[in-house]
Amino acid sequence: MSPPLLQVNDLKKHFPVSKGLFGRKSEWVYAVDGVSFEIARGETLSLVGESGCGKSTVGRAILRLFDITSGQVILDGQRIDDAHPSTMRQMRRRVQVVFQDPFSSLNPRMRVRDILAEPIRNFGLAKSAEDLEVRVTALMDTVRLPREALNRRPHEFSGGQRQRIGIARALAAEPELIVCDEAVSALDVSVKAQIVNLLQDLQQKFGLALLFISHDLAIVEHMTHRVAVMYLGKIVEVAPRREIFAAPRHPYTKALLSAVPLPEPGAQRNPIILGGDVPSPINPPSGCRFHTRCPYVFDRCRTEEPQLRAAEGDQWVACHLDALPAG
């Protein structure tokens, strides 16, 4: 078996917050608190969970938009969490991002031609001015935008077209992994499907790995290979798409999936309504972090943290119930 393209080992990111009149007393937001997973070449792993669960922080840590608190991020066998700036330059080329809001991530003053040319120039990928032009026009073809649009600026495009420009800009660097951070969440349903289809086609064509960060499980079900479910800074379940959607094991995953509409008209799942609010990541609950909302909570859950362990097949679950002997 070939080694994974990306390995994330026990990743933690804690942010300080100031408290008190003079901001002297510090507390910590445990945004990501011990997350591990792998992504193979050409694979899509979806990171899902409610807003504030830490999934976008994981994506940003992989992109090294900030220093992590502890843990390891390894790309193709090489640590990037503490890489020297000279190594990091090549690593940055290999891992690109598509953000949720292409309008704020694209420079409004730049023409599309320059937006796409910038990463090609920065990473020294073009051999000549002609080669640069060939690459830029090829990117427009790849994301199915007209070449005539190269001289336009971002505000002259629709939301879906702008997201295609964001994808083209990511592809311009010839990456091996793209972090899609809620990349289709702001789009209309039909446009969403088009962008997801485009990402799938590009994955096939270029052998790309995708880390697809999303709260939209209906979209995830359509396009992912595996799913990792996060709750309050931790992964509670990881499994291949088919297994997790057919038979989720963790009580939180069950509740999340019960809200996903079924494709058949009129068909409904039995929704599981969770009590209480998501606790604060400043002061997460002891033991299992989900115990304050879990319908199956028992004494052990309040004191002992469940570890992520192999359940069936390639399904991994962090729940004491899963570790109980059958019967």
Contact footprint for ligand SF4 (CB under 6 A): 250-251, 288, 290-291, 294, 296-297, 301, 306, 319-321
- Of the pair 80, 238, the CB lying nearest ligand SF4 is at 238
Closest approach, Cβ 318 to ligand SF4, in A, equals 7
Neighbouring C-beta atoms of residue 54, cutoff 10 Å: 25
Closest approach, Cβ 306 to ligand SF4, in A, equals 5
SS3 of residue 297 by DSSP: coil
- Of the pair 225, 293, the CB lying nearest ligand SF4 is at 293
- Of the pair 38, 50, the CB lying nearest ligand SF4 is at 50
Closest approach, Cβ 77 to ligand SF4, in A, equals 34
**Phi–psi pair at 62, nearest 5 degrees:** -65, -35
Neighbouring C-beta atoms of residue 63, cutoff 10 Å: 19
- Tell me the C-alpha distance between 212 and 46, whole Å: 4
> Would you state the structure tokens that stand for residue 228, as one six-digit string?
């990792």
Closest approach, Cβ 291 to ligand SF4, in A, equals 4
- Of the pair 209, 229, the CB lying nearest ligand SF4 is at 229
SS3 of residue 98 by DSSP: strand
- Of the pair 138, 297, the CB lying nearest ligand SF4 is at 297
Closest approach, Cβ 250 to ligand SF4, in A, equals 6
Radius of gyration (Cα) for the chain, nearest Å? Answer: 21
- Is residue 98 packed enough to be buried (19+ CB in 10 Å), middle (13-18) or exposed (0-12)? buried
- Biggest CA–CA distance in the chain, Å, is 70
CB 249 within 8 A of CB 322: yes
